[in-house]
Chain A
Amino acid sequence: MVAGTPKLNVDSLRAWYGSEEVIHGISFDVRENEIFGIIGPAQSGKTTLLKIMNRTLEFTSGSRMGGLVEMDGEDIYHIKDVYGYRRRVGMVAPLPVGLPLSIYDNVAFAPRSFGMKDGEELDGLVQKCLEQAALWDEVKDRLDSLGTKLSGGQQQRLTIARALSHQPEVLCLDEFSIAIDPVTTMKIEDVLKDLRKEMTIILVTNLVQQARRLADRTMFMLNGEVVEIGDTEPMFSGNAKQPKTNAFVSGDFG
């Protein structure tokens, strides 16, 4: 991969639910190994955007998309192996979803589904993912107990471990901290800072300060359009190019 080539390239992207257009032709790119923040109030199309990124929007009946999304220069909507593609993109949902399986099986579920057999390799992968998600020390003695019995914050880290289990190149986090406590949030934020060495991270958040702490560049979305994309620091220190952005990050609306 040539340095400076964008990991993801989005061009004139549109999306519809039924006849309602929710994303109105947006373009941006995400660079390799950066944390790309997406902020914006509710209904601005952030979650839909993530669903387009890992091709799960097609599970929503009545949805359509238009425009171009490329990963490493390849149109993701012309990739034949959809399941293979989805594994290249990890996804963490807003509310922690511990699958009603054991902690071990939660993490081993995806690797098994694409053919990894039980054994040392899988054990190692499960341990690595749980360590990366800063959960290993808390659960290593009870890998057989139900994932749904963990606390909310632990379940969210389990979700991250699960998203890492298919060794993605891009990790998308959709408002991961809305259901968890500040201490866990900070733990996960540290995890993300480590992970960016290995992968590209897209962080959708409605905590403006979280974007400021983590993101290299930030995109501000409003009602399905991009208001501004830029380096995080100027955007959050009152030097955004658009007045609307300044108003949003300073808490005047949204």
Chain B
Amino acid sequence: MNDSQRFTKTTFTQKKESREKWVKVLLFMVTLMMALAVILLVSFLVHKALPVLSLNFFPDIPRDLMSAGGIWPAILGTIYLVVLSLMVAAPVGVMAGIYLNEYAKDNWLTRLINLAVINLAGVPSIVHALFGLGAFVMFAGLGESVIAASLTLAVMTMPVVITSTREALSAVPMSFREASWNLGVSRWQTIRGVVLPNSISGILTGVILEVSRAAGETAPIMITGAAASITFRQGETVYYLLGEKFMALSYHLYYTSMGWKVPDKLPNPETGEMVPMTQAALEYAQAIPYGTAVVLLGVVLLFNSVSIAFRYYLRTHRKW
């Protein structure tokens, strides 16, 4: 081998390099398709929703048999659901996660609990709905109500909150705990002083992501308290009592797109005479489900960005 040959590529190297290039291009294309799907989805929804998307759509109540007006009662119902189920699922799930990761010994009981948690996470939401109907609506006597639906969602979210909490906790290096134990610091003081400050951002992110995912669930709330339509009077402040039925974005979306037909004629408010809908009113009515979908996406995105902002804040302000 002379000196000039030493630096020329062998066929093996050439093959390796071209394979490298193709693999990279392939992986990039697949990733791009992913992003494309999201962009297509969002732009399709927004395009279809254009007739209703205005600032009046959010704070207005549904009018004219839900063929006009806005979706404020549904937005509010979804906020109720998220906040109430968060209040139940977050503390219980996080505490159980802490117990399982920090205290539980590896024995048959722990393994049984783990198995139960994993299986609970895999239960389809419609089954949770049936459980909620039996346990909260009927047995606990809560009736079809916001609180029954929220509790059902909480039960559904809890196993995932437990799992994400455990993941965040086990990301904290064992050496931190050992260093703390060596100082004669108790387990709880260690968790409070060392483990939680380093995992709280992960725990909260998991919790908020899970609960915001639950905000889009339809099946569990459909038979535990969501109403297709609640009539509010013009100018009336919209609110729900915990024991009342409620409207929610996901169910509103389902109902307006599946269970309900745009009426041909509407009563004239003054004469009560039935008049055909105008073309513009028809278009508006048909765009309502899409508008609802956009708002639902927006609400979920909002929760996610809050969680991201919160995580960023905690990361930069580690001390507490």
Please give the residue numbers on chain A whose beta carbons come within 8 Å of chain B beta carbons, in ascending order: 54, 56, 59, 61, 83-87, 90-91, 93, 95, 97, 99-102, 105, 109-110, 113-114, 146, 159, 162-163, 165-166
Contact = CB atoms under 8 A, between A and B. Distances in A.
A165 B175 contact: no
A208 B319 CA distance: 41
Main secondary structure, interface of A, reads: mixed
A109 B175 contact: no
A97 B177 CA distance: 10
Contacts of B194: 99-101, 109
B197 interface: yes
Interface residues of B, number: 21
A102 B184 contact: no
Given A95-B175, A99-B194, A109 B182 contact: no
Contacts of A159: 179
Contact of A86 (B175, B177, B181, B193): B181
Contact of B183 (A59, A101, A102, A165): A165
Given A54-B182, A83-B185, A146 B318 contact: yes
Contacts of B185: 83, 109-110, 113
A7 B318 CA distance: 41
B182 A113 contact: no
A99 B193 CA distance: 10
A56 B189 contact: no
Nearest to A82: B184
Nearest to A54: B182
16 contacts: A56-B178, A61-B105, A87-B183, A87-B184, A97-B175, A97-B178, A99-B176, A100-B176, A100-B197, A101-B194, A101-B319, A102-B319, A105-B319, A109-B194, A163-B183, A166-B184
A86 B184 contact: yes
B176 A113 contact: no
A183 B180 CA distance: 27
Interface of B: 105-106, 175-186, 189, 193-194, 197-198, 318-319
Contacts of A54: 182
Given A61-B106, A99-B194, A101-B319, A113 B186 contact: yes
A165 B182 CA distance: 12
Contacts of B180: 99, 109
A114 B178 CA distance: 17
Contact of A109 (B106, B178, B193, B318): B193
Given A84-B184, A86-B183, A159-B179, 6 more contacts: A99-B179, A99-B194, A101-B319, A110-B184, A113-B193, A162-B179
A100 B172 CA distance: 10
Contacts of B198: 100
A86 B179 CA distance: 12
B183 A93 contact: no
Contacts of A59: 177-178, 181
Nearest to A165: B183
A170 to B, nearest CB: 12
A86 B198 CA distance: 24
A162 B319 contact: no
Contact of A85 (B105, B176, B183, B184): B184
Nearest to B177: A59
Q: Which 6 A-B pairs have the closest CB atoms?
A: A86-B184, A87-B184, A110-B183, A91-B182, A97-B179, A113-B185
Contacts of B106: 61
